[in-house]
């Protein structure tokens, strides 16, 4: 076998082994903690090329790291031990559209934004939206079961997948579900593949379900009276308003957004510790103002604003959407966790009063999707603290964080999977019996362990 074992499988121009900085670029995701080391990058263009690559890898026990847009934050697409990176980015074609089935089939490397744009061309809607839709790929969305801001109404990626074409770790092709709405014929392999982080198979084609395009939306930005009123506000809103998003962010989060964006002004006159953003998709006869008045009467909120036009809608959303960008200069250590919605206020208090109680020099920013219990816990690096020391401190904090999370029955990873980053903490969300079962499943689909080795467990 030659030093580049895949030359007889795909054209040499689809193989990258140098320059090293380009190889490294394709060998990592948005996590910064891991030292990258890969043998090269493979760029298949067809399902058949993926099959041949995996069969070759299986025959010669060559490790592969499937790679999409690499926007994950758990190290799931990082090569650290001379693996070959299997990039799907050149598999970027829309393959078909079905008006009758309201579905679209795409190769795994199609960017999420492109799928959304294609749906709109047919006056339909693909509702999976998050900050990285401009660079994430649909195969990666499937691999991590991507969520986003509209999970409350539309669910996560797994709710929108009709069929999958997958290559197992032995090079076998699975054509799963074939677009059927009802298919009760044994174990649901489609759902098993979704969220498996490329450890069971390589997704090459995805058929997504589309829905009706939403009517004009509006959004309320509200200042909470106290965090204790959050659940009353959420329960009422969920039961009485056509809401599609319910977001929470802190006063500190807002301050970072305002300091980094000179064009934005403070949205409310009253200073509060926590803000809620509620997006609604009203029908023609829905009166939002009546409910807004009810919020004040109940003293759940002390200030608020309702968008009056498209520009104001976008501006109010920007106070939430720009948080991540505004704190990026502090090299934040990110924890993406979830708890039951009913436990959100309790856990936020625990974060500040227990987990970070002794960490006076570490600033923590908490925000997230309250509608599905998903919180983003960002620890900001002090300017003069060395990166290695910062990571060590954050890992110590994470151990405390996840121990408290376990008491509430939460998840150590809500959106980005386990990858490498969350491996040490999987025990806080999964029992040993569950972990052993997952390892057994891995061996069935990937008996030699060549697909994304070392990830999850």
Q: What is the per-residue pLDDT across 7-32, written as a single tens digit (0 to 9) for each?
A: 999 999 999 999 999 999 999 999 88
**Is residue 278 a contact partner of residue 193, using CB atoms and an 8 Å limit?**
no
User: Which pTM does this prediction carry?
Assistant: 0.93
Domain boundary among 37, 60, 87: 87
Question: Is 375 within a domain?
Answer: yes
Domain stops at, among 324, 340, 372: 324
- Is residue 337 situated within a structural domain? yes
Gyration radius (Cα) of the chain, Å: 23
pLDDT, tens digit (0-9, with 9 covering 90-100), for 2-12: 478 999 999 99
- Please state, in angstroms and rounded to a whole number, the distance separating the CA atoms of residues 419 and 220: 36
Q: Which of 57, 72, 87 is the last residue of a domain?
A: 87
The mean of the pLDDT values for the chain is 95
Q: pLDDT tens across 228-237, in order? A: 999 999 999 9
Q: According to the model, what pLDDT value does residue 170 have?
A: 98
The span from the CA of 77 to the CA of 251, in Å, is 34
- pLDDT tens-digit series, residues 156-190: 999 999 999 999 999 999 999 999 999 999 999 99
Residues 308, 389: one domain? no
Domain span including residue 39: 12-87
Please tell me the total count of domains within the chain: 4
Is 442 part of a structural domain of the chain? no
Domain at 143, CATH number: 3.30.465.10
Rounded mean pLDDT, 242-252: 96
| 426 shares a domain with 342 | yes
For the chain, percent of residues with pLDDT exceeding 70: 99
Residue 447 lies inside a defined structural domain of this protein: no
Whats the size of the chain, residue-wise? Answer: 457
Residue 358 falls inside a structural domain: yes
Does a structural domain hold residue 451? no
Residue 417 placed within a domain = yes
Burial of 312 (0-12, 13-18, 19+ CB in 10 A): middle
Taking only the tens place, the pLDDT of each residue in 367-420 is 999 999 999 999 999 999 999 999 999 999 999 999 999 999 999 999 999 999
Same domain, 158 and 108: yes
Give tens-digit pLDDT for 341-368.
999 999 999 999 999 988 989 999 999 9
- 310-321 and 251-260 helices, crossing angle to 10°: 110
């Amino acid at each position: 076998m030659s030093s580049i074992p895949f030359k007889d499988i795909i054209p040499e121009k689809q193989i990258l082994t140098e320059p090293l900085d380009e190889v490294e670029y394709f060998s990592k995701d948005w996590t910064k903690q891991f030292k990258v080391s890969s043998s090269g990058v493979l760029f298949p263009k067809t399902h058949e090329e993926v099959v041949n690559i995996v069969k070759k890898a299986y025959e010669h026990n060559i490790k592969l790291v499937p790679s999409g847009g690499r926007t994950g934050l758990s190290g799931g697409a990082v090569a650290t031990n001379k693996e070959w990176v299997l990039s799907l980015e050149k598999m970027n074609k829309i393959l078909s559209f079905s008006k009758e089935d309201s579905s679209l089939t795409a190769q795994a490397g199609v960017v999420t934004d492109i799928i959304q744009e294609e749906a709109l061309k047919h006056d339909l809607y693909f509702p999976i939206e998050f900050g990285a839709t401009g660079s994430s790929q649909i195969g990666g969305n499937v691999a991590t079961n991507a969520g986003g801001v509209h999970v409350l109404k539309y669910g996560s990626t797994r709710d929108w997948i009709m069929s999958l074409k997958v290559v197992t770790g032995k090079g076998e092709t699975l054509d799963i579900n074939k677009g059927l709405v009802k298919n009760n014929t044994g174990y649901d392999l489609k759902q098993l593949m979704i969220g498996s982080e490329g450890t069971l198979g390589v997704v090459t084609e995805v058929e997504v379900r589309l829905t009706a395009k939403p009517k004009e939306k509006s959004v309320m930005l509200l200042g909470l009276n106290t965090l204790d009123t959050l659940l009353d506000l959420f329960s009422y809103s969920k039961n009485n308003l056509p809401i599609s998003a319910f977001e929470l962010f802190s006063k500190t989060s807002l301050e970072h957004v305002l300091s980094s964006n000179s064009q934005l002004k403070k949205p409310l006159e009253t200073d509060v510790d926590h803000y809620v953003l509620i997006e609604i998709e009203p029908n023609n006869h829905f009166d939002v103002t009546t409910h807004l008045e009810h919020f004040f009467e109940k003293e759940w909120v002390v200030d608020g604003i309702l968008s009056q036009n498209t520009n104001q809608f976008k501006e109010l959303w920007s106070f939430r959407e720009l948080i991540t960008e505004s704190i990026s200069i502090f090299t934040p250590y990110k924890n993406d966790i979830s708890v039951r919605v009913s436990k959100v206020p309790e856990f936020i208090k625990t974060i500040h009063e227990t987990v970070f109680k002794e960490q006076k020099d570490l600033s923590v920013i908490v925000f997230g999707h309250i509608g599905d219990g998903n919180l983003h816990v960002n620890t900001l690096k002090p300017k003069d603290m060395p990166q290695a020391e910062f990571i060590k401190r954050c890992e110590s904090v994470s151990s405390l964080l996840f121990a408290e999370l376990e008491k509430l029955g939460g998840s150590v990873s809500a959106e980005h999977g386990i990858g490498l980053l969350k491996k040490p903490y999987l025990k806080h969300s999964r029992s040993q019996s569950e972990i052993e079962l997952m390892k057994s499943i891995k061996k069935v689909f990937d008996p030699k362990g060549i697909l994304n080795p070392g990830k999850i467990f």
